[in-house]
Structure 1
Amino acid sequence: MGQLIAKLMRIFGSQEHKVIIVGLDNAGKTTILYQFLTNEVVHTCSTIGSNVEEIVLQKTHFLMWDLGGQEALRATWDTYYTNTEFVILVIDSTDRKRLSTTREELYKMLAHEALQDASILIFANKQDVKDSMTTSEISQFLTLSAIKDHPWHIQGCCALTGEGLPAGLQWMQSQATTN
């Protein structure tokens, strides 16, 4: 069924781009996914497994897989990597204690062969919270400037209000149209 939909989209000028949304538990991944879909806050609980939704932005179709971020589930992320064009890494900008774990997971993903052509969008979520880390602080800690073989962009955001999310989605759309 999925192959049929992909063929129809190619015929009618639209192409579907596979996206995985990853990050540690409680970073805001599911809230961001449903903010994209409904422009509303959807109350969620911890994702066990995955959620999948299609987001369309001006004829660009993104099939977004929201993956659970608990430690036990992170070991299964690589089963979703095949044909992934975009990785959205969601970071809780208030969670300083686990930023090193996020860095480890990021570089593990970047080293995976199936993601060698993937573009990386990093959402620094919870920017509305007092004392949250800035995008510059997060970028430095993650040493994003060292990433030379993947297009990447870091975007501050607030999943609850949607602030910053359209800019990230537009960056992905611009990457999709240049590839």
Structure 2
Amino acid sequence: MGKVLSKIFGNKEMRILMLGLDAAGKTTILYKLKLGQSVTTIPTVGFNVETVTYKNVKFNVWDVGGQDKIRPLWRHYYTGTQGLIFVVDCADRDRIDEARQELHRIINDREMRDAIILIFANKQDLPDAMKPHEIQEKLAFSPKPGRRSGRIGAGSLPTGG
């Protein structure tokens, strides 16, 4: 049945950009999605790109490093992006304002106006982690009129290296 539907409707592809401050857990999430298991990671200098297939849709997920020196380069990845996963370390209270500034810089860019947005509140298992509603408030995030969609999700994945 799946093959028949695939032939009728074709396979869809979506370009997803995964951004967030350094050490938020972007690469760990990417490889958990791709491989279904946790892997040891190192800080991303540059980017990782993987294709994850789910329900007849191929998601080309671009995980771009989050160090402050790399962030000005993020805009070069915006063109053609259909979805943004912005990953936040819920236990990093010292940098939540920095995360808010970066998120708003991204979503206010003309190239990103039609992108579906998911804020992933990561590391919920850590002591003193902010809850999703607190993250949403501190990021001043709410779906904008005319924007396709916006959501906040939460979870925790084992940390990499």
TM-score by length of structure 2 reads 0.90
Of 131, 150, 156, the residue aligned with 1:158 is: 156
Of 97, 100, 103, the residue aligned with 1:100 is: 97
Correspondence for 2:51: 54
Is contact 2:143–2:151 with CA below 8 Å preserved after alignment? no
- 1:149 shift after superposition: 3.8
Correspondence for 2:3: none
Correspondence for 1:138: 135
Ranges of 4+ aligned residues in structure 1 off by more than 4 Å? 9-12
Change (3 A) 1:118 1:10: farther
Correspondence for 1:128: 125
1:84-99, aligned counterparts within 5 Å? 84-99=81-96
Compute the RMSD of aligned alpha carbons. Answer: 1.8
Sequence identity percentage? 41
Of 111, 115, 124, the residue aligned with 1:114 is: 111
Name the SS for the 2:51 alignment partner. Answer: strand
Q: Which amino acid aligns with 1:27?
A: A
Change (3 A) 1:58 1:137: same
- Is 1:69 the counterpart of 2:66 in the alignment? yes
Name the SS for the 2:50 alignment partner. Answer: strand
Is contact 2:142–2:150 with CA below 8 Å preserved after alignment? no
Provide, for residues 58-105 of structure 1, a one-character-per-residue CA deviation record: whole Å limited to 9, x for no partner: 101100000000000001000000000000000000001101111111
> Larger helix proportion, structure 1 or 2?
1
Provide, for residues 125-166 of structure 1, a one-character-per-residue CA deviation record: whole Å limited to 9, x for no partner: 0001121000000011112136334311101111229xxxxx
Q: What stretches of structure 2 of length at least 5 have no aligned partner?
A: 1-5
Of 13, 19, 23, the residue aligned with 1:22 is: 19
Deviates more, 1:22-31 or 1:144-153: 144-153
* More contact order relative to length (CA 8 Å, sep ≥ 6): 2
Correspondence for 1:174: none
Question: How many angstroms apart in 2 are the aligned matches of 1:70 and 1:109?
Answer: 15
TM-score by length of structure 1 reads 0.81
Q: Which amino acid aligns with 1:101?
A: E
Correspondence for 1:168: none
Q: Which amino acid aligns with 2:49?
A: V
